[in-house]
Amino acid sequence: MTRVFVDSSVLFSAAYSSKGHSREVLLMAAREEITVVISQLVVDETRRNLADHAPHLIEYLELIIAAIPFEYIRPTKSEVLGAAKYVVLKDAPIVAAAKKAKVDLLITLDKKHLLDKKEIVEASGVAIVTPKEAVEYLRKTNR
């Protein structure tokens, strides 16, 4: 089964909109077509962002968290510091967690720091894609 790591931008987007590729990734996980790995940091950051921008959706986020069989991973301090050598510090825990989880894809909407950064992909060994790219890939490989 394909393993993916989603960051808080994807989890936020899936909670915020009933449509779109972020939501489709989580629906695939709910149908147990893929394994979605997250960290507690991702959950906490998503809760904070929803509290700031759409507090009425926090309850929906909690339903998503309860309904989907997420796998949780926690990188060590040394793993995060290692990732910080090739990614901005705020994203080092995300990349370190994805690398530790040995996922096939890290799914994000972060164009500024993660997407299209070949050096991060090479150093981490994890493909970094948008939700749209992930859904296209997963539909092809999960037939």
The pLDDT, as a whole number, for residue 19 is 93
Mean pLDDT, range 52-59, rounded to an integer: 96
pLDDT band at 80 (very low <50, low <70, confident <90, very high): very high
Task: Give me the mean pLDDT over the 105-113 stretch.
Answer: 97
Statement: residue 26 has pLDDT above 70: yes
User: DSSP string of 49-79?
Assistant: HHHHH-GGGHHHHHHHHHHS-PEE----HHH
Q: Assign residue 117 a region (left: φ > 0; alpha: ψ between -120 and 50; beta: otherwise).
A: beta
What residue spans define the domains of the chain? Answer: 2-141
Q: Which amino acid, one-letter code, is at 121?
A: V
pTM of the model: 0.97
pLDDT at 143 over 70: no
Token pair belonging to 53: 């921008």
CATH number of 2-141: 3.40.50.1010
Report d(CA 27, CA 68) in Å as an integer. Answer: 8
